Amino acid sequence: MVRSIPPCPFAVEELIPELAGHARTTTLLYPRAGSPGVRDSSVGGPLLWPADEPWPVCPGAGHDAMVPVVQLFARDVPELLFPAGTDLLQIVWCPCLHDDRDEWVALPRLYWRDAADVSATGLLADPPRPSAYDEDFLPRPCTVSPTPALEYPNWDMPEGLSGTLGERFEEIEAATGHSYYDVATTIQSKVGGYPGWTQPPDWPDCACGRRMEHLLSITATEPAHGRWLPYDDHAAGGDRPVWLTEADPAVEDGIGHGMDMGDLGGIYFFVCRHCPDTPYAYRYDC
């Protein structure tokens, strides 16, 4: 179900013409605690996993089964470009910190599949659960509501602009009452668009020499107020502007996948579509 969200309260490119051409379409996932099935797109839900393929296991000492993190069907995310012959994206990771890696983060794996082929081979009925895990990287099962939106860069400003637009942003906020960063950029779980960096960008390069493109972000932060909170999650009554309205207490506890991911961080996935095997990489910051 696509969510309805408030529009941006000002025309970004009219007030900031330097950003013309830098808008990107992103698909906001809006994970909500629920009971998705193996044939549903989800965050933290069960996966459509082939019975004849072993469940992934982490090679780290004392670690074992990985956990489902993302499952997206092409029918639900038409903006996502799938490799030829596939219509299903799955991500799992080991929910333990890996102190032998610089990131100190969960170890992910990404799979592209043909859902019909998986169904034809039979499904794994009872995937194993990890005996060891860090709760910061163990998602609760969530339904998703992929919602297209337009966003502008935050950390990924065009070269030379990040240091020169600060005063303009302050003027716009004083004139309109809205912060550019609050209404034109997003830090939440999403497909495409700009990575939800909380630290300076660290884009990976493919072995072919090209910079990879952002595939999706899984972040600890999910909006519970403001421009990116869907209308139907707004608290009823009151006289606060829509931009300041907070989530209805009845739904607030169900917002997000429940992972703190270290210190409200995120894991960002990247792919190279120029190489035939669609190699991927990931980055973590908090």
Rounded Cα distance between 88 and 71, Å, is: 7
pLDDT number for residue 160: 81
Q: What amino acid is encoded at 64 in this protein?
A: D
Rounded Cα distance between 20 and 160, Å, is: 15
Residue 50 in contact with residue 127, Cβ under 8 Å? no
3-state secondary structure of 95: coil
Sole residue written with tokens 């860090």: 134
pLDDT number for residue 102: 55
pLDDT number for residue 241: 77
Angle at Cα 231 formed by Cα 227 and Cα 232, nearest 5°?
Answer: 145
| H helices present in the chain, as ranges | 12-15, 115-121, 166-176, 180-183, 249-252, 261-264
Q: What amino acid is encoded at 162 in this protein?
A: S
pLDDT number for residue 244: 78
Strand partners, 109: 92
Mean pLDDT, 10 residues at a time, the chain of 286 residues: 93 95 97 98 98 93 92 97 97 84 73 97 94 92 98 91 88 94 96 93 96 97 94 83 86 95 90 96 91
pLDDT number for residue 72: 98
Rounded Cα distance between 265 and 258, Å, is: 12
pLDDT number for residue 100: 55
Tell me phi and psi for residue 168, to 5 degrees.
-65, -45
Strands of the sheet with 24-28, listed across from one edge? 147-151, 24-28, 190-192, 213-219, 266-271, 280-285
